Chains A and B, each alone.
Chain A
Amino acid sequence: MKQDRVLIIDDDVELCRLLNERLQPEGFAIETLQDGQTGLKRAAAGQHDLVILDLMLPGMSGLDVLRNLRSRSSVPVLILTARGDDVDRILGLEIGADDYLPKPFNPRELVARIRAILRRVSRDAGNSSIVTVDNVRLEPSSLKVWVDETEVSVTSLEFILLEFFMRNAGQVMTREDLTERVLGRKAGPFDRVIDVHVSNLRKKLGRVSSEEHIKAVRGMGYLFVVRSGSK
């Protein structure tokens, strides 16, 4: 079985060593880097299945690394944020991180998050048929999305989210459903990660088309709107 390659960018050398020790038995190939510049270079090289990025990096900040990385790569990114620092967390998710974990974290939680994201992203053999709803077309084999023949660049996770929405177009998806299906974990009590992802996706689709594709249903969740009536 192929090992999943995980890149950890964190300036705490000791923590990197401990994480390496903790994660290797779980079957991950770990590479650790301490500064943002080289971290960005390595992450963009496309040799990793997942990047764990500490937002509190000296020098080039984690948010800058993420912003740069997102302009070149859709590799899943899990950000480590400061506890109590909601602004960084929301910003990180908006820039395109897939999920976050506040520091200090429980390593089991970290392992679970890594596995969940990797499972979602690597699961593409099952249903690879092209999905089309109205003017939105989604191609699972190439992970590409088109709206009115304009390609929309989305992250791996946003792709999964959109695919889930489109395969269930016209049905209301609860936030719990979406979190479970897309992030591969149960939604926490005051978890708003999925809302940020949905909002990012809405923004990206909205840039190309003026129609509202994903609608919020108060008190319930979200739904992908079908206009033509035929899938």
Chain B
Amino acid sequence: MNLPTRSLFLKILLWFWAALVLTACSIIVTLILQPGGVPSQWHEAQIETVRYAAATAVQEYEHEGAQGASEYLLERDHIAHRQACLFGPDGMSISGGRCERFGSVAHSVAKSGKPEFNVERGQATVAVPIQGAHQDRYIYVTESPVGPRAAVDTNLGAVAVRCLVALLVPGLICYLLTRYLTAPIVRLREATQQLAEGNLRTRADERMSQRRDELGFLVGDFNAMAERLEGLVDGQRQLIYDISHELRTPLTRLNVALDIGRGRKGDDQAFDQMQQDLERMNQMIERLLTLAKLDAATATVPFEFFNLTDLVASIVHSAGFELHERSDKITMDSEEVFQVRGNTELLQSAIENVIRNAIRYNNSEEPVQVALERMGSFVRITVRDHGPGVPSESLQRIFEPFYRVADDRDRQTGGTGLGLAITERAVRMHGGKVDAVNETPHGLAVRILLPLQI
């Protein structure tokens, strides 16, 4: 996953992780600052353990004397890290090291006769009264590290491992959670981009819409929207296609009827006008049908390898032929022989439309110039005329259907307003691009970029 640093993924991940780690830290800090919160069960268990140790210490004392008891206590300190002292009933220490700090606790227990449990700065002090074999009363006091302090005191390596685990386990959980939340969004975004590029068949992954949560619903809604969009656009295309198709029948009859009328009534200017308009309608229908098909059937057009240079040469040749004896009005220049993969018919009409356009507007003595040149892995076909050019704000829009630069001019010159739209779509279908620029001192250059097959 390639994500920007401010991505939702990173935000959610860091926020959740930070929340979990902070929670863990605050619990630890609270434990250190508020040690009172030690569970009472543990409390009881501690006292029981201390009682057992106390009984043993008293036994040692009664059999071996103070020396024996001290040895036992030292041994315990050694093994269990628990310092302990044994006091007499009067609260005076009998055996054990550094017993003076336990003095006050011992006195207090001697008075009350009840065990005491104090926790201070991570050290638990447990004092229990105990009876010897001869009904003598003793007081046993011990201390041991508890809580986080215990951990810190015992093993630094283990602490590091625990911290790492505390950091990584929430991290992993957060990562999985965040992925679970953001992955569908990322994929939905890809689908949206595809849709925006005009690929209306795009749907978000069906598996995502199986989720029974908000994201699942969003994916479902997205797909419904895409479906509707596709339906609308398809419907519009189909309508254009059907209208054009249906218009042909009456137009064909009209053509024949007009000719019959002409035969009967002789030549008349009105007939000429009708004839001219019929021709224009014929042409418009042809182009509309081509356009509708280009929009609809990207996948069904057969592609083949062919020689683009030859194709352009034959178009230029035919166009020169059409110019009647004025073939010097168009020139062609190609660096090399270019091979492309595509649909010959479509590319032919794409290039032809541009060349015809150039011829139509080329009102100068300079010839229309057609040039083929290599641009990296592309071939660029430039068609340059020396006509009036196009206002710069219209340069993008001349490839839109029925867009006219100036209201009258195009109609006067006999255009349908569809030629360049066909060019744009055909070129795009071949993975190419087309644009137009104004040349100095005047004239328009249309540049078609097509991927080369090497």
Contacts and interface: CB of A to CB of B under 8 A. Distances in A.
Interface of A: 12, 14-15, 18-19, 21-22, 25, 82-86, 90, 102-108, 176, 187, 189-191, 218-219
B286 A18 contact: no
A190 B351 CA distance: 12
A14 B253 CA distance: 7
B415 to A, nearest CB: 16
Contact of B245 (A82, A102, A107, A219): A82
A134 B398 CA distance: 56
B286 A21 contact: no
A104 B282 contact: yes
Contact of A19 (B256, B263, B293, B352): B256
9 contacts: A18-B257, A83-B286, A84-B293, A104-B248, A106-B275, A106-B279, A107-B256, A107-B260, A190-B352
Interface stretch (B164-172, B184-192, B311-319): B311-319
B64 to A, nearest CB: 114
B445 to A, nearest CB: 22
Nearest to B290: A84
The contact size tier of chain B is 35 or more
A105 B263 contact: no
Contacts of B282: 83, 104
Interface of B: 244-245, 248-249, 251-257, 259-260, 263, 275, 278-279, 281-282, 285-290, 293, 310, 313-315, 317-319, 321-322, 345, 348-349, 352
7 A-B pairs with least C-beta separation: A84-B289, A83-B286, A104-B252, A104-B251, A107-B259, A18-B256, A189-B322
Nearest to A108: B259
Given A85-B289, A106-B259, A108-B259, A15 B249 contact: yes
Contacts of B279: 106
A85 B252 CA distance: 16
B259 A22 contact: yes
B290 A105 contact: no
B172 to A, nearest CB: 58
A219 B320 CA distance: 14
B260 A83 contact: no
Given A82-B289, A84-B290, A103-B248, A218 B253 contact: no
Q: Which of B282, B313, B348 has the most CB of A within 10 A?
A: B282
Most buried by A among B248, B263, B281, B289: B248
Contact of B260 (A15, A22, A85, A104): A22
A82 B253 contact: no
B161 to A, nearest CB: 73
Contact of B313 (A12, A176, A189, A219): A219
A14 B252 CA distance: 10
